Amino acid sequence: MQKYNSIPNIIFDFGGVILNINTDQAVKSFKEIGLSDTSLVKKEYQTNGLFDRLEKGMISADEFRTEIRTHINATVSDEQIDSAWNSMLLDLPYERLELLGKLKENHRLFLLSNTNIIHWEAYMGMIQKVHGTCLSDFFEKDYYSHNMGLRKPDPKIYTSLLEKEGLKASETLFVDDMRANIDAARLLGLQTHYLDLEKGESILDLF
């Protein structure tokens, strides 16, 4: 899809787009440490519940762990909770970092991620350990929901980034693997690409 090479600004989602993730793995891991209602993880993740508040920075990591404990039929440590929660974070293929490095030569690159402090610390450490680099080095600026107090697909999270960076929506491509996030961005005039992970699509296919 060489057509995207002419777009000067690109905003990438992170989980699913750059970093491989598997939310089902977190459900399995929480069950292993005693979570009685495993549907809670998916339900809370998809609604404005516990995970939404964590990803908006409305509660701290400790407050998150305390609330998770109310659903677990066992005594669990902070490390066990973090390990279960972080188990959804898989690998980051080096080829994707290579692509970002090349794109950065001719494009303004930005990251816009719905994430939280526990995941952020985990994958930043993993990327440094595995690839010996910092994720921030590949972007002009990286934006995270827990720092912004906003989550995609809230229109304000997109307009905030565009305004802060002086970007024209029509000259900016947004890449995400969630249709709701893509739809919200398109309504604001951004060019968009829905990355269809079920069809095995990768950002390596786009440029």
CATH code, domain with 160: 3.40.50.1000
Are 100 and 137 in contact, with CB atoms under 8 Å apart? no
Q: Phi and psi of 182, rounded to 5°?
A: -65, -45
Query: Using one digit for the tens of pLDDT, what is the confidence trace for 102-133?
Result: 999 999 999 999 999 999 999 999 999 999 99
* 45 shares its domain with 66: yes
Range of the domain at 37: 23-86
State which of 51, 86, 121 marks the end of a domain.
86
Query: Using one digit for the tens of pLDDT, what is the confidence trace for 129-159?
Result: 999 999 999 999 999 999 999 999 999 999 9
Coil vs helix vs strand at 175: strand
- Identify the active-site residue in 13, 82, 176, 177: 13
* 107 shares its domain with 186: yes
Q: Percent of the chain having pLDDT more than 70?
A: 95
State which of 57, 86, 115 marks the end of a domain.
86
**How many domains would you assign to the chain?**
2
C-alpha Rg value of the chain to the nearest Å = 17
> Between helices 61-69 and 117-131, what is the axis angle to 10°?
110
* 9 shares its domain with 105: yes
What CATH code is carried by the domain that includes residue 33?
Answer: 1.10.150.240
* 31 shares its domain with 69: yes
* 170 shares its domain with 194: yes
Cα-based torsion angle of the residue sequence 179, 184, 185, 189 in order, rounded to the nearest 10 degrees: 130
What pLDDT, on a 0 to 100 scale, did the predictor assign at position 179? 96
* 15 shares its domain with 59: no
What pLDDT, on a 0 to 100 scale, did the predictor assign at position 36? 79
43's CB contacts (< 8 A; 6+ apart) are 49
Q: Is 82 a catalytic residue?
A: no
Higher-pLDDT residue of 19 and 4 is 19
pTM: 0.94
